[in-house]
Structure 1
Amino acid sequence: MSLQIKELVLENPPVTETNLVLGQETSTFKEVTSTLDPESLKTGDIVVQPLIFSNDPTQRAWIQKGLDPKRMYVPPVLKGEAMRSLGAGKVIVSKSDKYKVGDIVIGLLSWSNYSLVNELRISTKVSDPNADLPTYLSLVGASGLAAYYGLTEVGRVKPEHTVVVSAASGATGIIAVQYAKHVIGCKKVIGITGSDDKIDHVKKVGADVAVNYKDPEFKKQLSDAIGPDFADVYFDNVGGEILDFMLSKVKPFGVVIACGAIAGYNDHSKGFIRNWGQIITNRLRVEGFIVTDFKDKHAETFVKLFTALQQGKISLSDSINLVDLSSESNSLAKIPEVWGQLFSGNKVGKLLTRVSKI
């Protein structure tokens, strides 16, 4: 029997701000309907019913107008193509030897009621049928893996280090703070966040100090927190003005972990850097990375992160925001608006969207 596919495609690739309301002339996305004959699947294809979508700032970079695919780590989403997201879903049709009907999988899915994907877009199968999928997508999804690999593989962080983490209340930052402090055992962990409530949360999970970048005295407060000997490692999730300032606060031969640049995603002028000379004069190592760079280590990394969770060294309590659209008559139309909450800065931790239940 044929399946009716409803999906959101990129209608107006944005240059600056996005319009996440459907049905308008300038809407970034458009809902389209098509029919899929399961018999048309090729070897290795599966149809997945999405259950929960991960919302990640990097998705904004995928849809930017005028992208050069040769400069992207994944193919960009082009006009007319379905929007993609890391997500958890249930296999309902399979022509794959790796995944059978009923399996719960994690992979790159489309914003749709049913996602037709090749098995290569699936990163893992959730073997435990009772697994808590929100925790799974937060801890060993892109955010948790970015925190782990950023600290261990890129930053090579050690117990004697002073580490500064920006967007410390965000999905990656909240795990980076905890892993640095409670697992690696860093001497000092400083979190940068955007409100006094978030300061309290970041300190609650393990930061020695947290500062509010919206405070008029922010730069002085951050300088005082770091101290006269500067920071060994800066875990950058934002780019822009905060990165620019932190380049002057990392000690000679220190490291900047370049994980995200959300400050400039909707306005490139806010991503400009003036302190480039600090990299030269202080011989800083600035290194970007993508979690798939370390895909061969994922299995052992999953074990380490879940062990840290079980031991209480990482806590996700109050750090997962699950927006449940599963009872909505047209949950698809509201997916972009939930994703857009990432850029308002109002949430703590991981933002997820539930679109259906098992």
Structure 2
Amino acid sequence: MSLPTKTQQWILNEKPYAEAVLEGENQTFKLVTTDIPALKDGEVLLKTVYLSNDPAQRGWISPYAIPGRLYMPPVEVGDVMKSMGIFRVVDSRSAAVEVGSLVNAVSGWTEYTVINAKDVVKITPQAGLPETHFLGALGLPGHTAYYGLTQIVKATSEDTVVVSGAAGAVGNIAIQIAKKMIGCKKVIGIAGTDEKCRWVEKLGADVCLNYKSASYKQDLEKETSDLVNVFFDNVAGEILDFMLTRMAKYGRVAACGAIANYNRDNDIIGIKNFYEVVYMRLQILGFINIDWFDHLPEVQALLADEWKKGKLVIGDENETVVDTSFKDIPRTWMLLFSGGNTGKLITKLQE
């Protein structure tokens, strides 16, 4: 079989101020075809199998992004849209990475990509577990949940913990780690539908509340009558603002994400209850998973072991895998912002 010489790619066409535009003159992304460069020593040619869809990608294409204040360079107009993914090695000039193997890498919305072999991580399959979970529970989302709870806010068995975005890729694992591994005395999830809330409760949450419910604030006040020690926040916005009023003295907030504001332009939802931070001596600790990236292999092994013991639920219900044609990659990614996924949202490229 001859090797490919050209590849389709989605490049950033125009940085969006609000929600990404998928059609028309001012569309955010543009589909192009380009040549594949010849391999050099130490490089591998990868074919995209699965793409990771992450809220952080929205920040990478923001016109307000300031390179010096981001944890990685933003995507500029004309660049391939960046993403993590799972790739199959179709050619290799590296003895360390063999043809046919599956690897994790940061590449982008491209059919084929050439990358230095040192920048890929070989996947060790787990019997009975689809490889897609190396983008979710056993990938950076699981790593993020573990890092945030154990290292950032140092949750203990004495803590009451609330997790927003509890049905998302990070949130559903955070719920399980808090309840099943750390043994926190009460774990409360916040999600966007009653169906998602019942699923989060099946994962181990003592209760999960629908933030779209008319009685949400009253319900949360009732469930947190003894106040909250740890808030693992994936959302920010109004949920964070209200949660500040439910924190106990010396409470800790793990600031993981802010999806409530990612598609907003001039109507950013800010914090009105900041005085609670002062009065209650709260800590709000922002963190980025790559700061602890060298621990990823050990966290993967730990979470896989907990799954094998039956403590963690890692299965079809933890991910939403969408069969997608190459031309529809942006459309699948947009499901992130409409609540169209439960658990990790993954694009599976059609052959």
Which TM-score band (shorter chain)? over 0.9
**Aligned counterparts of 1:34 and 1:218: Cα–Cα separation in 2:** 50
Residues 113, 207 of structure 1: CA spacing in aligned structure 2 closer, same or farther, 3 A cutoff? same
Equivalent residue in structure 2 for 1:4, among 6, 22, 26 = 6
What CA distance in whole angstroms lies between the structure 1 residues aligned with 2:181 and 2:126?
28
Match for residue 109 of structure 2? Answer: 111
Q: TM-score w.r.t. structure 2 length?
A: 0.94
Letter in 2 for 1:58: A
* Mapping 1:165-204, distance limit 5 Å: 165-204=163-202
Q: Tell me what 1:342 maps to.
A: 336
Mapping of 1:1-358 within 5 angstroms?
Answer: 3-21=5-23, 24-38=24-38, 41-122=39-120, 124-128=121-125, 132-227=130-225, 229-268=226-265, 269-317=267-315, 318-325=317-324, 331-356=325-350
Matched-pair contact (CA < 8 Å) for 2:137–2:169: no
How far apart are 1:271 and its partner, in Å? 3.2
Q: How many pairs are equivalent?
A: 346
> Within 2, Cα distance between the matches of 1:169 and 1:135?
15
Give unpaired runs (5+ residues) of structure 2. Answer: none
Aligned to 2:281, what secondary structure does the other structure show? coil
Aligned-pair CA distance for 1:312: 1.7
- TM-fit CA distance, 1:10: 0.2
What is the identity percentage for the equivalent residue pairs of Structure 1 and Structure 2?
A: 40
Deviations 1:233-260 (A, max 9, x none): 0000001000011111111111000001
CA deviations on 1:172-205 (whole Å, 9 max, x unpaired) are 1111101111111110000001111111111111
Q: Are the equivalent residues in 2 in contact too, given 1:54–1:353 (CA < 8 A)?
A: yes
- Cα 1:196–1:105, aligned 2, differ >3 Å: closer, same or farther? same
Specify the SS of the correspondent of 1:292: helix
Residues 303-312 or 182-191, more deviating: 303-312
Contact 1:11 1:27 in 2 (8 A): yes
Q: Deviations over 1:28-50 (max 9, x none)?
A: 10011111242xx3443322101
Partner of 1:328: none
Where 2:334 maps in the other structure, the secondary structure is helix
Q: Distance in 2 between matches of 1:36 and 1:169?
A: 39
* Offset, 1:219: 0.9
- Report the alpha carbon displacement of residue 349 of structure 1 after superposing the two structures with TM: 0.9
CA contact (8 A) 2:164 2:232 kept: yes
Counterpart secondary structure, 1:34: strand
Preserved contact between residue 106 and residue 125 of structure 1 (Cα < 8 Å):
yes
Runs (5+) with no aligned partner, structure 1: 326-330
Paired amino acid for 1:36: I
1:103-122 deviations in Å (ceiling 9; x for gaps): 21001121111022233542
| Structure 1 residue 62, shift from structure 2 partner | 0.5
Q: CA deviation at 1:158?
A: 0.5
What's the offset of the Cα at 1:14?
A: 0.7
Q: What amino acid maps onto 1:286 in structure 2?
A: I
SS of residue in 2 equivalent to 1:312: coil
Q: Distance in 1 between matches of 2:52 and 2:235?
A: 19
* Deviation (angstroms), 1:127: 2.9
Question: Shift of residue 316 of structure 1?
Answer: 2.8
User: Could you tell me how far apart the structure 2 residues matched to 1:102 and 1:253 are?
Assistant: 52
**Gap change, CA 1:171 and 1:2, over 3 Å in 2:** closer
Q: 2: distance between equivalents of 1:307 and 1:349?
A: 20
Determine the C-alpha separation between the residues in 2 that align with 1:349 and 1:150: 18
- 2:248–2:280 contact (8 Å) kept in structure 1: yes
What SS does the aligned partner of 1:223 have?
helix
Cα deviation for residue 356 of structure 1 reads: 4.6
1:129 shift after superposition: 8.6
Whole-Å separation in 2 of the counterparts to 1:84 and 1:155: 30
> In 2, distance between residues paired with 1:168 and 1:53?
22
TM-score, structure 1 normalization: 0.92
Q: Deviation at 1:100?
A: 2.5
